[in-house]
Amino acid sequence: MPSGHNNPSTKQNFLKRRTYDAGRAQLDAAHRATQRLYCDTLEFWRRCSRPQCRRHRRCCGEASRCLMRGLIHVPPSQRRKAHEAVIAGGPRRLPPRTHFEWIVRRADFSTVVTWGLG
């Protein structure tokens, strides 16, 4: 009876590399998740025109637009507190899903805000 140890379908390939497009997609997803955490931490859902955001008490739409729209109402001291809260996981204390997200959460606030705008 074969044991399956030499079966290539069950063997993990630890030397596998990702493509540029796959890495870019992971980085984009990490930035979107971090932008959504900033929106939730700064409670932009309170002023949002979307009823879904107010009902669920979190950002349910386009987080980058919501962040840019509400950022003018946030003083720098509150931005620093929000940055610390995002590193901790936001109001729901969510752990980072990937290592990319862990890195992006610790990135400069202006880098996270302007990602994907141009």
Mean pLDDT, consecutive 10-residue stretches, the chain (118 aa), reads 57 74 91 91 85 83 84 90 93 92 92 76
Sorted by sequence, the CB contacts under 8 Å of residue 15 that are 6+ apart come out as none
Please tell me the distance from the alpha carbon of residue 118 to that of residue 116, in angstroms, as a whole number: 6
pTM of the model: 0.78
Residue 86 and residue 41 in contact, taking contact as beta carbons nearer than 8 Å: yes
Contact 74, 80 (CB under 8 A): no
Domain locations in the chain as residue ranges: 20-114
Q: What is the pLDDT of residue 56?
A: 87
DSSP 94: P
